[in-house]
Amino acid sequence: MEAIKYYVKGAFQGVTETPQVLEQQEELIADLTAKVADLVTEGRSQDEALGMAIASMGDLSALVAEFEAPGDRPSAIPTATVYSSSLDLHVVALSVGVGALLMLLCTVLGALTGAIQPGAGLVMLATLVAAAWWLRGAYLRFAADPDAVETRELAFKQRKLWSLMPWAGVSFGAMVLNIASGTDFWFWPIWVAATVYPISIVAEEFLSGRAEFAAPTEPTVSAPSGA
């Protein structure tokens, strides 16, 4: 039956098909086919017999693991146990600081070229208020529980790649609207605000590896006194 073949092949998905693996698959297919035939002989329908036969096999993961070769399965994502509220506060502070520096440089550049109009100050002010609110929230979480511990995945490469899409979308949209309106220059503040998102991921990657944010994975047990 094709359904049995698909089930067995699916269980071994990702495992290199060596002669031993193919032989094991053939044995499983033969066993399941025989069980289905027996159940059908007993009066079960084909679908019912198939379900009962597969259920009788149990979990095949342990068997499949015996045939796995190095590199068959993707490696587990590394993790780190960190002081999360402290790490988040420093990530936000570093991101806001870099964003503020970019804002300053862009403002100076715009002023020197005469590209920034007075109305852009409103957008810059709104951006700075949002940054201050973000920093305030991170500080309040730290103040509430400065010793908060969390285990986090260190999968930064994919997150950085994904962060470029909203950054590019927001930046392009702001630039197009700025050109289309032709009334004011408010592209730089929006571009800087969008840039802070990928910056925060880079900052988290940098700070997560620092010893001051590493939390113990097991509680420390003090030695008894007066032994």
- pLDDT of res. 219: 45
The two tokens of residue 54 are: 């597969």
Q: How confident is the prediction along the chain (227 residues), in pLDDT tens digits per residue?
A: 677 887 888 788 778 888 888 898 899 889 889 988 898 888 888 878 888 888 887 777 778 878 776 655 555 567 888 899 999 999 999 999 998 898 888 777 777 776 666 666 777 788 888 889 999 999 999 999 999 888 888 888 878 888 888 888 887 887 787 777 776 556 677 878 888 889 999 999 899 888 888 887 654 444 444 43
What pLDDT, on a 0 to 100 scale, did the predictor assign at position 226?
A: 46
Q: What is the pLDDT of residue 71?
A: 57
- pTM of the predicted model as reported, rounded to 2 decimal places: 0.59
Residue 118 amino acid letter: P
Structure confidence at residue 223 (pLDDT): 43
87: Cβ–Cβ under 8 A, 6 or more apart, which residues? 204, 207, 208, 213
The predicted structure's pLDDT at residue 142: 93
Give the whole-angstrom CA distance, residue 42 versus residue 49: 9
Domain limits, the chain: 2-65, 79-213
Q: Strands 79-83 and 149-153, how do they pair?
A: antiparallel
Q: What is the DSSP string of 18-51?
A: -HHHHHHHHHHHHHHHHHHHHHHHTT--HHHHHH
